[in-house]
Chains A and B, each alone.
Chain A
């Protein structure tokens, strides 16, 4: 089975780095990290991700704008985008399934959660 290509956009380089190490160690995923939201589209063009995990609160440009850029680009219009956020409470999460039309996961997030999300949004 071909490993899924995951693009992680988050200004926390420690997080993206550890997430890459962990996900890739399972052998099921190929991960590329972007710590500057403004570079997300550029990296996506050569990395060609199956799914994007997008941090909401970032300097210079926030996750919402990045998501819009993806949606606006014909190449990535159908690309699954999942937000990762630190400021949504679990109770809110109970009543909300998306942010601005995109699904989201609340930080801290486990590898299992990521894996489930990938499985959900990128079926074989």
Chain B
């Protein structure tokens, strides 16, 4: 058989010899060999001759022939049974039964056991013999092929999970695959033959498939991959994909349909799950208030959400495929593109960067994060970007800062007002204090001075009376001195308490100092030197008389501190307060602020200076370092009272080079 190729029989001369195996009982008058030998063509060659079927068994087993000619002589059915016992015969090697006389029953039986032909020996002629042999071989070949194709088709029909069915023009089943039978709970596919979908499915389903099939039949157009959905009685869902083709006969006439239905429920469910997930993600990103978008490796937008489109001022579909250069000014776009490229190149996320843009002309603050996107192999395929609009927050922050600045300014002005108030309060307290001290001093003066006047007068009277008596004179002198001392204390007390009424006027401090210097001329000795350095200072608002008293007191103290001579120095100048403290003294913070312009006056001597333990008490009333009778202990108190009342300060210190230094500071007010 291996030597036989399809179509081979049509051109015998090209073919090698067809091997014949002959089974022929001995003693036959007409030998088959003789018939074969008389053939014109040399195609057929007898390769084996056996007297009985049993004898041919081994050679047949080897398939040592292409065709068997079996003469059953007159053995009839017995002879056929012997042939039928040979397994190879018919199935693998075609055979022709030859009988002595024609017998109807034998002929039928012969065909039943697979014989290709039934010939009667007496009527055989060589041409007829050749024709029968060719025909048998050809039919055997066709049979074999049909069987093979049938086997293939049945393998398909039996094992393919897809449902395959052939239907006639009336949609009746002609043939179905095993899977269809199983699906329809039939024991055998053959059960379905002749039935229709109306026997198995709901009317709606059956009508739909019927309509589909009739359309295929009418139009000749196949129905390909139709997806249909069915709700099964148990509630489960079934999705299937159906393809239906027209079935045609040899003449191309449509005789029915062939259908294949595949259960795509699993992939459909997967698809649905994917769809649902995609919809969910889509919904999620579209509902995010922050612009979100995805770019490919070229920086083109491949996905964006509504917030992003809104931010750009276009619709979502207008964004896809475009780049940042389509929406922003070149400078910003270039910068953004560079960042994108860096993220794509380096694969490192770029998180929470603040930036300012102006897509719609209005300045917008964004916090931007860009993260690389990777495929399942880890290769970078693009980037995801999320913007957060923080303009409102930024604005609120700015407002807060501005509000804070206003608040601070308000606090500063309140503080300033408070300081002024405090200073005024101190001034009022000082004035009030002095007023009560003044009243007290007036009372004391009246009560003490009258007796002093009497004593004084008495001493004077006695002095006249005992003018010649030296001892009495000395006693009276001491009495007189005591009266004078007591009187000085009262005078000092009155001076201290007196300055409660200020007469503030615009005055030239230098002129006041000059006048005060003339008043203390009497205190100056020959060995006292005077150094006066009065600078160019603006007029200031002070009480001329009281300030004069201040300088008289300071000059007096300075001169008294230098009984053996020395230098009294007086200087004035303008300064600007740089910080609160050192240059204007301890009390300055209450009175002066940085930036104030002040007049500084300094009174210095070259005396022994002020002992450190005395410095803190120097302004206390009745505190004095002078011998009893030399000072009232009120001079410096008066000085400070006067200074404080005018919102000016005085600081006493010792000069590094020796001697005491009084530093007086007056504020320069804007005089209209």
Contact assessment for B491 and A15 in the assembled complex, using a CB-CB cutoff below 8 Å: no
Q: Which of B400-449 contact A (CB under 8 A)?
A: 441-442, 445-446, 448-449
Measured between beta carbons, the chain A residues less than 8 angstroms from B461 are 18, 21-22, 25
- B window 478-502: CB within 8 A of A: 483, 487, 491, 494-495, 498
Chain A residues within an 8 Å CB radius of B549: 91
| Contact A86–B495 (Cβ < 8 Å) | no
In contact, B494 and A89 (Cβ under 8 angstroms):
yes
B494 pairs with A107, CB closer than 8 A: no
Q: Are B495 and A108 in contact (CB under 8 A)?
A: no
> Are B498 and A89 in contact, CB atoms less than 8 angstroms apart?
yes
- Residue of A12, A88, A111 near B460 (CB, 8 A) is A111
Contact B449 A86 (CB under 8 A): yes
Beta-carbon nearest neighbor of A12 in chain B: B450
Task: Provide the bound-state CA to CA distance between A109 and B448, in Å.
Answer: 13
* Distance between Cα atoms of A57 and B443 in the complex (Å): 10
Which one of B51-59, B152-160, B451-459 contacts A?
A: B451-459
User: Would B491 and A107 count as touching, CB distance under 8 A?
Assistant: no
Nearest chain-A residue to B457 (Cβ)? Answer: A18
Q: Is the CB of B457 within 8 A of A22?
A: yes
Known contacts: A92-B498, A107-B452, A108-B453. The answer to whether A86 contacts B445 by CB under 8 A is yes
Q: How many A-B residue pairs have CB under 8 A?
A: 70
Question: Does B27 touch A at the CB level, under 8 Å?
Answer: no
B464 CB-CB contact with A under 8 Å: yes
A15-42 residues at the B interface, CB under 8 angstroms: 15, 18-19, 21-22, 25-26
B458 near A18: Cβ-Cβ < 8 Å: yes
A91's closest neighbor in chain B, by CB? B495
With the chains together, A111 CA to B456 CA distance in Å?
Answer: 10
Bound-state Cα–Cα, A95 to B454, Å: 27
Q: Check A74 for interface membership: any CB of B closer than 8 A.
A: no
Contact indicator B458/A88 (Cβ below 8 Å): no
Which one of A15, A25, A95 has the greatest number of beta carbons of chain B within 10 Å?
A15
Looking at A89, A109, A110, which has the most chain B CB atoms within 10 Å of its CB? Answer: A89
Decide: A108 and B498 in contact? CB cutoff 8 A: no
A85-124 CB contact bits vs B (8 Å, 1 = yes)? 0111111100100000000000111110000000000000
Inter-chain contact B457/A89, CB cutoff 8 Å: no
**Shortest beta-carbon distance from A94 to chain B in Å:** 8
Do A19 and B457 have beta carbons less than 8 Å apart?
A: yes
Contact (Cβ within 8 A) B456 A110: yes
Give chain B residues whose Cβ lies under 8 Å from the Cβ of A107.
Answer: 449-450, 452-453
Please tell me if the beta carbons of A87 and B464 are within 8 angstroms of each other in the complex: no
Decide: B454 and A14 in contact? CB cutoff 8 A.
yes
Q: CA separation between A21 and B3, bound complex, in Å?
A: 188
Query: Inside 8 A of B495's CB, which chain A residues have their CB?
Result: 89-91
Q: Which residues of A contact B450 (CB under 8 A)?
A: 12, 15, 86, 107
Contact of A108 among B441, B442, B456, B464 (CB under 8 A): B456
State whether the Cβ of B194 lies closer than 8 Å to any Cβ in chain A: no
Known A92-B498, A95-B545, A108-B483; contact A87-B454, beta-carbon cutoff 8 A: no
Contacts of A12 in B (CB 8 A): 450, 453-454
Q: Who on chain A is nearest to B483 by CB?
A: A108
Output the least CB separation between B133 and chain A (Å).
171
Residues of A within 8 A of B (CB): 12, 14-15, 18-19, 21-22, 25-26, 57, 86-92, 95, 107-111
Given contacts A12-B453, A22-B461, A88-B494, 5 further A-B contacts (CB under 8 A): A25-B464, A89-B491, A89-B498, A107-B449, A107-B450
| Residues of B bordering A, CB below 8 Å | 441-442, 445-446, 448-458, 460-461, 464-465, 483, 487, 491, 494-495, 498, 545, 549
15 examples of A-B residue contacts, CB within 8 angstroms: A12-B453, A15-B453, A25-B461, A25-B464, A86-B445, A86-B449, A87-B449, A89-B491, A91-B494, A107-B452, A108-B449, A108-B452, A108-B483, A108-B487, A109-B456
